[in-house]
Amino acid sequence: MQVLHEKALKQPADNLVEVSNLHFAFEANQVLKGINLTIPRGKVVGILGVSGSGKTTLLRHFGGQLRPSRGQVAFDGQVVHQLNNTELYAMRRKMAMMFQVSGLFSDLSVFDNIAYPMREHTDLPEDVIHDLVLMKLHAVGLRGAHALRTSELSGGMERRVALARAIALDPMLIMYDEPFAGLDPISLNTIANLIRRLNDALGLTSIVVTYDVSESLKVADYVYFIHDGVVVAEGNAAEMADSTDPFVSQFVHAKPDGPVAFQYPSRPYTEELEIKPV
C-alpha cells in the first residue's frame, strides 16, 4: 500500500496551468479583474477576446514577466510569482512562445535560428544539433529552406520557422500569441493544422491566444472568452459556434451590436453636435 501511495503522489496533476483569481493593473488601468481558468495537459486551449481585453497580459503572467497584484498562476504545480530567479529560468525552459511577429533573428539563417536555443541552453555537439534542426524543420515542412535568410521567407514560411524554433527544446507548453494575424488563407490554414498536429504528435500542451474565431474553434479542444479583464464564457470548442451566450454569439458571428460596444464611451451624439467651436 505504501508503494502504491508513493506512486500516486508522483503522478502529475491533470492541469498543467491553473489561474486563480488573477488581478493585474498598469497603474490606474485595471487589466485583469479576477481571471480563473485551467489548461489541461495535452490539450489545445484557445483564449479569445477583442483587442485590449487582457489576453497578452495574461500570457505574460504564465512566464513570470509580470507579477499579479492579487491571485496566482501555477505552472506544473509551482506558483510562478513565488519562484526565485533560478527556479523561474528553470521553469521557462519547459515553455516556448510563438510571438505575433515571429521574433526571428534577421541576421541569421533559418538553420541558425532553430539552432540558437539548442546552442544557448544545451551542451549538444554540432552534429546532433544539425540533425535536430533538420528534424524540427521537417516537421513544419521547411527542411529544404534551412539555408535561406529570414528576408527570403514569405509571411507563412516565417511563422512556420518560428513554430519550429518554439519546439526546438521539446517544451511542455507552447503559447501562441495571435498566430494567425496577417496570414493569407492558405498559410493560416497551414499554421492552424500544424498547431494541432504538433500538439498531438509531440504530446504538448498549447495555448492559442487570438481574436480569429473560425480557426481557433477548429484547432482548440476548449476555449475561454475574455472581455474587460474577466472570463465571460467558456466551453468545448465544438459547441461554441451554436452558443446562445450573448458575448459568444456576437464574437463568433462578428455582430456589430451586443455586449461589446462599437462606440468608445462618449457624450450623447446630439449633445456633441450642439457644441459650437469657440
pLDDT of residue 8: 47
Instruction: Provide the grid cell at 172.
Output: 511542455
Per-residue pLDDT for 68 more than 50?
yes
φ/ψ of residue 184, rounded to 5? -70, 165
φ/ψ of residue 44, rounded to 5? -105, 120
Tens digit of each residue's pLDDT (9 = 90 or more) over 227-271: 888 998 888 888 887 777 777 777 777 677 766 666 666 777 777
223, 217 Cβ separation under 8 angstroms = yes
Question: If you classify domain 11-94+173-257 with CATH, what class do you get?
Answer: alpha beta
Chain centre distance of CA 13: 21
Give the span between the Cα atoms of 193 and 186, in whole angstroms: 11
Quick one: which of 135, 186, 132 has its CA closest to 159?
186
Tens digit of each residue's pLDDT (9 = 90 or more) over 19-50: 999 999 988 888 999 999 999 999 999 998 87
Q: Which residues contact 31 (CB under 8 A, 6 or more apart)?
A: 24, 25, 54, 57, 229
CB-CB neighbours of 241 under 10 Å? 13
Name beta bridge partners: 19: 37, 73
- Show me where the domains of the chain are located: 11-94+173-257, 100-170
